[in-house]
Each structure stands twice: as C-alpha cells, then as structure tokens.
A and B are shown apart, each in its own frame.
Chain A
C-alpha cells in the first residue's frame, strides 16, 4: 500500500555543517537521503520506516571527485553518472567505472550516489566489490570531526555499518598506485544492467614472472555484507599461477564464502559461480 506522505518529515538544510549540527543536536534520529533511488522505492511501497529524513542531495561539500598526485577522492554525493564521466577514474580505476555503468539505468545513475550505495549496505551492491579490491578508505564526518578507516572495516553485520547516528559518510579515497595491476570484475545476474546481482567478484593482481606479488578480491552476495576475501587472497599471495594454485584458491573461496539462499539465487549456485569467477580471473593473469 502507498505511504501517506504527510506523515513524513524531510528537511534540506543546504550545507554539510548544518546537516551535521542537526544530526548532533536533534533528539530524534534523522535518516539521510541522497538521490532517493533506494529510500523512495520503500516510500512508494509503503515500507519506509524512518519518518524523519534529511536531504544530502546535491550538497556541494559531498558531490565532488578530486585528484591529487597520490589519490582520487570521491565525495559520497558523487552520482554514478559523475563517476562514469570522470576521465582519470575511468583510466586508473576502470573496474569501478565498469561497476558504475551497470548500476541501474541512466535515470538512476543520474540520481544514485556512491555514498548511498555504500551506506545502504546491501550485500549485493554493485560498487563495493571494486572499492574493496582497490583497498579504499572511507572518511566519516560528524560535528566531532572526521575519522578515516579502511572500507573493509566499514560493514559490521548485515545492514549494519560503523556509522554512529550523528555521522555521515563523507568521502572514499582510492590511492593511485595500481599501475601494472591486472583487473577483473564480473557480475552474474539475470542480466548485467538493472538487475540485482546473484554474485559479483572484483579483483586486482600484480604478477611478476608468473608469480602473484599482490592480489585483492572483493565480492558481493558471498557474505552478509560486501567483503574482502582475505583468506582466499592469502592462499594466492606469492604463488605461481598453476592449476594446483587455482584448485587451492577454489577451495579457499568455497570455505570463505558464506552465501545464502534467497529470492535471487541459492547458496550453492553462488558459491560455485564465485569459484568459477575466481578461476576465470586467475586464468587471465
């Protein structure tokens, strides 16, 4: 059933400082809303639980993509269209640009933000596997100041994140040191665009003389939140890429993955496909 919109409060303070002050001072919790591609769906279905919302849409302090010689910093309010249009990002962080290109339709990419995609904390979200592979760090901000942590520590449990009630995600930082790395990203679902993935894997690897010097794997829908596959990475590090190493890695990902049965797929299918994706990546190195 449709929601009664008059029961909902939405405010748009217009600056990041004003938003943070309200989050800090208000006895009632305000839920941030950016492009609305998630929360407005819930509203339309009569399932939006938070009654007090605070708009982050188009806040100048959050909608940016900046580069320095060492890093690329994505404001949490950058849309998927902003990400796809950015030339340095497309060149140096190609699997993130690829993930952005299959995150919903053009209309949703014009509204959906990278910050929303992360904070919504769906285990199936499109951008997190790539961000995990790039070893992103996230900066959270409140009136108490900013704090930075590895993105791989941000998700705590299903739909639970490190954000305190008065904090918002400010930005995501990617270091520009992936020259020479081989990249991989693949989403498996009913179709690529506009379908939620059954399973997705993103990978980066640095290989010298047939030996893996560095490898990072990020996955969607293999655990209760987007997750780095550290144990699987461990079995591959400093190994030559042989059939035996691939078999060991397949075993490791099957152990490390904790997929579930749900409306989109089964645990067994997800685990098998994840191992197949990993093998496809390793064979490409």
Chain B
C-alpha cells in the first residue's frame, strides 16, 4: 500500500491504495465517484475519461501512484454549484445522451476540446471525441451538442 495525495474536484484527498491500482478503480471503489465508467478497460472507449491537470486521460490506464500531487476533475466536478454545466445542458437539450454510459467521458472530452478550441470546426470536434465510443446516438446528436456548447460559451 502507498499513500497518495491529490486534489479531486477541488478537494484535497489522501488515498491509501496499492500503487498500481487503476485511478478508475480508486475513483469508483474508494471514493464512490461512480460517474467514470469502465467500458473496455483498455483505453479504446473513453467511458472512464477524466481530466488530470486539465488533460483528458483514460483513468483505466493510470496507476494511482502517478497522480501524486495532481488535480483531477471527474464528471462529478463539472457541474457548477448544483447547476448543470452548459456542456451538460447542451447534451441534455440536443439528445446527446441516451443510455448514458459514454456521456461522462463525452462531456469531459468536450470540456478538454473547448478549452483548446473554443470555436471548434466539425473536424476538430470529431477528432476531439474520437477516443469516446457511443453505441446509441450515432454521434450526430453528440456533435450538435458540442456545437451548441461552443455557442453557449461565447
């Protein structure tokens, strides 16, 4: 076991865990932050995506020891004071979520994309979300949601 200190959704956390335990499992099992989902467990689907120091990463591929001192944002940290974040609102309004398994990762990928490209082209949206698989929507409604979110942020 090892002791790791990091900040999760703005809160300082001290975690006791085996150093190779996946960040995803620490979030879900130890901290009960179950928004990040396990899809493939091999970095293909993006359902477990979170932000580490602002960078989009798949939490299933991060050993907990490597987040020592890092700032982590999960879907639970995206809403602002109990209000949906504009990205979340746009996914809701545009029908960008159906079963919801991919949605936390989609929203974090969108957050990361809009931080880099506040007014993304469709090609930039497609690339920004290319590591997030959805088996419900066919993606068009998700792309519309991202375009709406970019507009809402103006």
Contacts and interface: CB of A to CB of B under 8 A. Distances in A.
B109 interface: yes
A269 B127 CA distance: 29
Contact of A106 (B18, B22, B44, B127): B127
B124 to A, nearest CB: 10
B66 A12 contact: yes
B60 to A, nearest CB: 6
7 contacts: A10-B63, A35-B61, A41-B43, A105-B131, A107-B57, A107-B109, A194-B131
Given A12-B68, A105-B46, A194-B130, A33 B63 contact: yes
B21 A41 contact: no
Interface in A36-80: 36-37, 40-41, 43-45, 53, 55, 57-58
B66 A105 contact: no
Given A55-B65, A81-B55, A107 B20 contact: no
Interface in B27-77: 41-44, 46, 49, 55-58, 60-63, 65-66, 68
Interface centre among A58, A81, A107 (most CB of B within 10 A): A107
Contacts of A11: 19, 65
B128 interface: yes
Contact of A36 (B19, B61, B68, B112): B61
A8 B18 contact: yes
Contacts of A105: 43-44, 46, 130-132
A19 B132 CA distance: 35
Interface string B84-115: 00000000000000000000000001001100
Contacts of A58: 66
Given A40-B62, A106-B128, A45 B42 contact: yes
A194 B130 CA distance: 8
A5 interface: yes
A143 interface: no
Interface of A: 5-6, 8-12, 33, 35-37, 40-41, 43-45, 53, 55, 57-58, 81, 104-108, 110-111, 193-194
B81 to A, nearest CB: 28
Interface centre among B62, B127, B130 (most CB of A within 10 A): B130
A57 B43 CA distance: 17
Interface of B: 18-22, 25, 41-44, 46, 49, 55-58, 60-63, 65-66, 68, 109, 112-113, 127-128, 130-132
B19 A9 contact: yes
A104 B127 CA distance: 11
B62 A36 contact: yes
A11 B42 CA distance: 22
B63 A36 contact: yes
B71 to A, nearest CB: 14
A53 B19 CA distance: 10
Contacts of B57: 107, 110-111
A108 B131 contact: yes
Nearest to A193: B130
Contacts of A106: 56, 109, 112-113, 127-128, 130-131
A5 B113 CA distance: 33
B20 A8 contact: yes
Contacts of B131: 104-108, 194
Given A55-B65, A106-B128, A44 B41 contact: yes
Contacts of A6: 18
Contact of A53 (B20, B42, B60, B62): B20
B43 A104 contact: yes
Contacts of A41: 41-43, 61
Contacts of B46: 105, 107
B135 to A, nearest CB: 16
Contacts of A57: 66
Nearest to A58: B66
Contacts of B25: 5
Contacts of A193: 127, 130
